[in-house]
A and B are shown apart, each in its own frame.
Chain A
Amino acid sequence: MDSALIPKGVKRCSIGQFALWIAVVGAVLLWGVWAMLLCYFRGLNQTNMNNAYGFALWIWADLAVIALGGGAFFTGLLRYIFGKDELKHIINYAVLIGFICYSSALLILAIDVGQPLRAWFIFWHANVHSMLTEVAFCLTCYFGVLTIEYVPLVLENRQIDRLPFFHNLTHNMHGIMALFAATGAFLSFFHQGSLGGVSGVLYGRPFGFRTGLLVWPWTFFLYTWSAAACGPCFTLFITRITEMATCKKLVKDSVVELLAKIAGWMLLTYIVAKIIDTVYWAAVTAPAMGLTLMDFYSNNPGSAYGLWILIAEVGVCGVLPAVMLVAPGIRSNPSMRFIAVTLAVIGACLNRWVMVLQVQAVPVLPFEGWFGYMPSWQEIATTILPVAYGIILISLSYRYLPVFPQEQELNPIEGGK
């Protein structure tokens, strides 16, 4: 029924199967929309946030998806600015994943604020000293850039491409894409960094606070660095998941290995910097504020924030995947590579988790205890909402757009359609 829209030379499931798949994911999406509407109309009392936990699951999800969406800007930088031409076979997907991540982040932010109708105040009454202001401006601008990067892919749909105007528009947009890739990298540097600065500047919160360079705390640079390292890992992770779901090889190993190798080196250098930062914070910054390292990791209910979380983030999900991706023997093994990128993705999520949640859980006043938090179903549903939206957009894009340029070559159809 929709075969005229499907790219030439590739095979897709039947429209019935596809509709069923979309219906299942769509049901999850509607669940999230229902929760979102509850939050809008009844207020944030629908959440389990409280006066001690002003930032919670949503802000973590926001920071995590933005970090993981960093694959778009970094792959674009490598492809268009550093001339890694081989990455043109995966850049479409990186852009699509980035587009989903950033639109999700904006959606979550729109739910998260107490007065959504006043959200524009962040632009109108902007406080230049606030990291969130920088986040808002750069995030919005970069989402515009990602949209511009995604549009040519949409225009490459078989039917749209038949129209000369759109065909030429796509061609011309591809011609100037390097400019947008450079703009995207510039904007990403600042908004990834300023997201790191969100907790790094909180000098009233010793767990999050970091010293730094000029007005930027070290977390500013660490966040950008980690996004450049873990973003491509997420691109590879989702690519592999898509391959498993479609039972097809979609990107050649040489392309995947190249991106994995670069991500590995970025991750290795990042984790060295992260370890130095952690040691300096534990030995100098925190004691100057009256706290020791173990004050941040002990005596909390159920050891939810025990030292294990630091070891998991830096060791298991930092050093280990970095070494795995840097070592050619391990990297070339698809299963080991998948484990490594999965660990790196978990590491980025863990880092954002502690820098949002643990910052507020740790007692600062000596006569207060640890603060606990468990998200409500409305928070969970609204966090899953963007995941469902992402799956639908990926499904639609995969079905109707030439997302993977190597798909046809890797999966020849007998008798060629």
Chain B
Amino acid sequence: MDQQNGNTKKYGMVIDLDKCTGCGACMVACMAENNVPFREDDTDKLLSVSWMRVYRLGNGKPFPQVEECYLPRPCQQCEGHAGHSPCVSVCPATATDYDMRTGIVSQIPTRCFGCRYCMAACPYHVRQFNWWDPIWPDGMERMLNPNVSVRMRGVVEKCGFCFHRYQLATDKAYLDGRRELEEGEYQTACAQACPAGAILFGDLNNPTHAVHKIAQPDSTHGGRPRNPKAFRLLERLGTNPKVYYLSSKEWVRKAGDNQVQRTEQTPKA
């Protein structure tokens, strides 16, 4: 249905782990773009807020077989079954929503009252709580992004695929008399900042977009990738995420899920 309906987008990401160097530029860009708060001592990562987090994975083997891989993890923008993503369906105050037009899971900080049920529901730990009020270093408040509201203590926040950029791009397209966005018109901060070009962003429903061509999502099987090098995190849970990872290494692909027994398929011509 999605592909037949020209207005329905499914924005998603393809992250090539073979290219990722773990430099953290995506994390920095994300924080700057989205006014993500930080503290003087932000070393406890279970208390800090990072919409994009880079994990370091190892193959667990001794030298010289040891291998490492960096895995950037934004919000996976789960569709679940018919938009019932794990976090959206549990929020008691409708402070988060699945946008059927874009496939983006939104977060409304001013609606959130901080029950944290969504955090308990998310298996990817992308939802984070503001344990403190944000305190910006002197002068930094003048550098905050005016398109993104800062959040107060006591609410949950998460990556929204830079939704404000989508709004700006659609506004511009409307003024130009267009209804459709070009692929490059709406890009997330992390995708633009990645020096290795490891993060690609676009409409998974659009066959001309790079993300569609690479991930080759199988809409008849909940968006599962047809590309044998592609995988999604925790595929078995049925969260139906829109972030695809690429790796040429089998151990990396296996690290994406618990005991996945996947039949690798040859991509269709």
Contact = CB atoms under 8 A, between A and B. Distances in A.
A202 B234 contact: no
A43 B71 CA distance: 32
A54 B92 contact: no
Interface in A46-96: 49-55
Contacts of B55: 367
A360 B121 CA distance: 9
Query: B55, B94, B111: which has the most chain A beta carbons within 10 Å?
Result: B94
Interface in B55-79: 55, 57, 71
A45 B39 CA distance: 13
Given A203-B239, A365-B124, A295 B117 contact: no
Contact of B92 (A52, A136, A199, A290): A136
B162 interface: no
B208 interface: no
B130 interface: yes
A291 B237 CA distance: 10
Contacts of A132: 90, 92, 115, 117
A290 B236 contact: yes
A51 B47 contact: yes
Given A121-B111, A122-B92, A290-B258, A51 B117 contact: no
Given A45-B131, A114-B129, A119-B113, A125 B93 contact: yes
Contacts of A113: 113-115, 154
B122 interface: yes
B94 A125 contact: yes
A130 B123 contact: no
Contact of A364 (B123, B154, B260): B123
A291 B258 CA distance: 6
A54 to B, nearest CB: 3
A289 B120 contact: no
A290 B132 CA distance: 36
A91 B35 CA distance: 56
Contacts of A203: 80, 86, 237-239
Query: B44, B114, B233, B256: which has the most chain A beta carbons within 10 Å?
Result: B114
Query: A121, A126, A365: which has the most chain B beta carbons within 10 Å?
Result: A365
Nearest to B44: A50
A127 interface: yes
Query: A116, A119, A130: which has the most chain B beta carbons within 10 Å?
Result: A130
Contacts of A364: 123, 234, 237, 258
Interface residues of A, number: 51
A112 interface: yes
B93 A122 contact: yes
Interface residues of B, number: 54
Contacts of A367: 55, 57, 71, 255
A126 to B, nearest CB: 7
Contacts of A288: 236
B128 interface: yes
B119 interface: yes
A201 interface: yes
A319 to B, nearest CB: 29
Interface string B231-269: 001101111000000000000000111111000000000
Interface string B140-154: 000000000000111
Contacts of A119: 113
Given A202-B121, A204-B122, A127 B92 contact: yes
A50 B255 contact: no
A51 B46 contact: yes
B210 interface: no
Interface string A110-138: 00111110110110111101111100100
Contacts of B133: 43
Interface string A269-296: 0000000000000000000111110010
B89 interface: yes
B173 interface: no
Nearest to A131: B90
B57 A54 contact: no
B121 A204 contact: yes
Nearest to B58: A367
Contacts of A359: 120
Contacts of A292: 259
A44 interface: yes
Contacts of A302: none
B236 A51 contact: no
A201 B155 CA distance: 22
B90 A201 contact: yes
A206 interface: yes
A290 B257 contact: yes
A118 B112 CA distance: 8
A136 B236 CA distance: 32
B129 A130 contact: no
B84 interface: yes
Nearest to B254: A366
B125 interface: yes
Contacts of B256: 366
A360 B117 CA distance: 11
Interface in B18-74: 44, 46-47, 55, 57, 71
Please name the 10 residue pairs, one residue from A and one from B, whose CB atoms are nearest each other, closest first. A114-B114, A114-B154, A290-B258, A54-B116, A54-B119, A204-B123, A118-B113, A50-B46, A204-B86, A132-B92
22 contacts: A43-B154, A45-B131, A50-B46, A50-B47, A54-B117, A54-B127, A114-B115, A114-B155, A114-B156, A115-B114, A115-B152, A115-B154, A121-B93, A121-B113, A125-B94, A126-B94, A127-B93, A129-B89, A201-B89, A290-B234, A364-B123, A364-B234
